[in-house]
Chain A
Amino acid sequence: MIRSSGLWSALAGRASQAVLVAVVVGVVSFSMMQALPGDSAYRIAAGRYGYDMMDAASADVVRTELGLDKPTSVQLANWLGSLARLDLGKSAVTGNAVADELKVQLGHSLLLAGAGILVSLIIAVPIGIAAGLRPGGALDRITLGASIVLRAVPAFALGVLLMLALAVHIKLLPVAGFQSPKHLILPALTLGLGLAAVSSRVVRDAVSEAMAADWQLFSRTKGLSSGQTLRRHVLRNATLPVIAYIGVQLAYVIEGVVIVESVFAWPGIGHALVHAIFGRDVAMVQGTALALGLTYVVLNLIIDLCCHGIDPRRRSIT
Chain B
Amino acid sequence: MLKALALTMVATGMLTSQISIAADKTQLNISSPWEIASYEPSVSGFAFYRLGVMETLVDATVEGVLEPGLATAWEMSDDGLSWRFSLRNGVSFHDGSPLTAQIAAAALQRAFANPGMLKKAPISAIEADQDDVVISLDRPFAALPALLTHNTTVIAAPAAINEDGAHIAAIGTGPFAVDTFTPPQSLDVKRFEDYWGDKAQLEKVSYLAAGRAETRALLAESGDADLVFSLDPSGYARLTGIDSVETRAVPIPRVVALKLNAGHSFLEDPRARNALSLAIDRIGIATAITRFPEATASQLFPPALDQWHSKELQPLKQDIEAAKALLAELGWVAGDDGILSRNDERFSLLLRTFPDRPELPLIAAALQAQWREIGVELNISVSSYSEIPAGHKDGSLHVALYARNYGLTPDPIGTVLQDFGPGGGDWGAMNWENTEVAQALQAIAATDDQAKRDADIATVVKTLQAELPLIPIVWYQHTVSVAKGLQGYVVDPLERKYRLNNISWSAE
Contact = CB atoms under 8 A, between A and B. Distances in A.
A275 B2 CA distance: 37
Given A46-B384, A182-B13, A96 B183 contact: yes
Given A52-B405, A96-B38, A59 B185 contact: no
A104 B181 CA distance: 11
A95 B390 contact: no
Contact of B10 (A38, A93, A172, A266): A172
Nearest to B46: A50
B389 A56 contact: yes
A294 B152 CA distance: 39
A104 B208 CA distance: 16
B321 interface: no
Nearest to B164: A95
Given A59-B389, A94-B37, A263 B115 contact: no
A167 B224 CA distance: 9
Given A54-B386, A94-B43, A48 B37 contact: yes
Contacts of A176: 208, 210, 215, 218-219, 224
Contacts of A104: 182-183
Contact of B114 (A61, A172, A177): A61
B122 interface: no
Nearest to B225: A175
Contact of A178 (B152, B184, B186): B186
A190 to B, nearest CB: 12
Contact of B183 (A101, A167, A178): A101
B389 A265 contact: no
B266 to A, nearest CB: 24
A56 B209 CA distance: 28
B115 A57 contact: yes
B426 interface: yes
A73 interface: no
A175 B217 CA distance: 10
Interface string A236-257: 0000000000000000000000
B224 A175 contact: yes
B384 A38 contact: yes
Contact of B208 (A38, A48, A265, A275): A265
Interface string B150-190: 00100000000000001000000000000000111110100
B38 A262 contact: no
Contacts of B383: 38
Interface in B101-122: 114-117, 119
A95 B186 contact: no
A242 B83 CA distance: 73
A315 interface: no
B5 interface: yes
Interface residues of B, number: 61
A163 B223 CA distance: 12
Given A168-B218, A173-B13, A182-B16, A39 B224 contact: no
Contact of A49 (B1, B16, B42, B405): B42
Contacts of A54: 115, 385-386, 389
A167 B225 CA distance: 12
B115 A180 contact: no
A126 B2 contact: yes
A167 B393 CA distance: 49
Contacts of B17: 171-172
B221 interface: yes
A55 to B, nearest CB: 4
Contact of A179 (B43, B206, B222): B206
A218 interface: no
A48 B44 CA distance: 9
Contacts of A177: 186, 208, 224
A42 B186 contact: no
Interface in B348-403: 356, 383-387, 389-390, 392-393, 402
A179 to B, nearest CB: 7
Interface in A20-43: 38-39, 42-43
Interface in A141-181: 160, 163-164, 167-168, 171-181
Contacts of B392: 56
Contacts of A50: 46
A258 to B, nearest CB: 12
A281 to B, nearest CB: 10
A53 interface: yes
Given A95-B40, A176-B208, A265-B185, A53 B152 contact: yes
B219 A55 contact: no
B301 interface: no
Residue among B9, B43, B184, B185 having the largest count of chain A Cβ atoms under 10 Å: B185
Interface string B406-433: 0010000000000000000111000000
Given A59-B389, A59-B390, A94-B37, A171 B222 contact: yes
B211 A160 contact: no
A283 B83 CA distance: 42
Contacts of A163: 215, 218, 222
B95 interface: no
Contact of A56 (B12, B211, B390): B390
Contacts of B10: 172
A122 interface: yes
A58 interface: yes
Contact of B215 (A53, A93, A172, A175): A175
A104 B37 CA distance: 13
Interface string A179-206: 1111001000000000000000000000
A95 B408 contact: no
Interface in B182-204: 182-186, 188
Interface centre among A57, A163, A264 (most CB of B within 10 A): A163
B222 A167 contact: yes
A275 B184 contact: yes
B381 to A, nearest CB: 11
Closest 10 CB pairs between A and B?
A58-B115, A42-B386, A94-B38, A267-B185, A46-B386, A55-B426, A265-B210, A172-B13, A94-B37, A168-B222
Given A164-B218, A172-B14, 6 more contacts: A38-B383, A48-B42, A54-B386, A160-B214, A175-B219, A181-B12
8 contacts: A52-B405, A164-B218, A175-B219, A175-B224, A178-B186, A262-B211, A266-B185, A267-B186
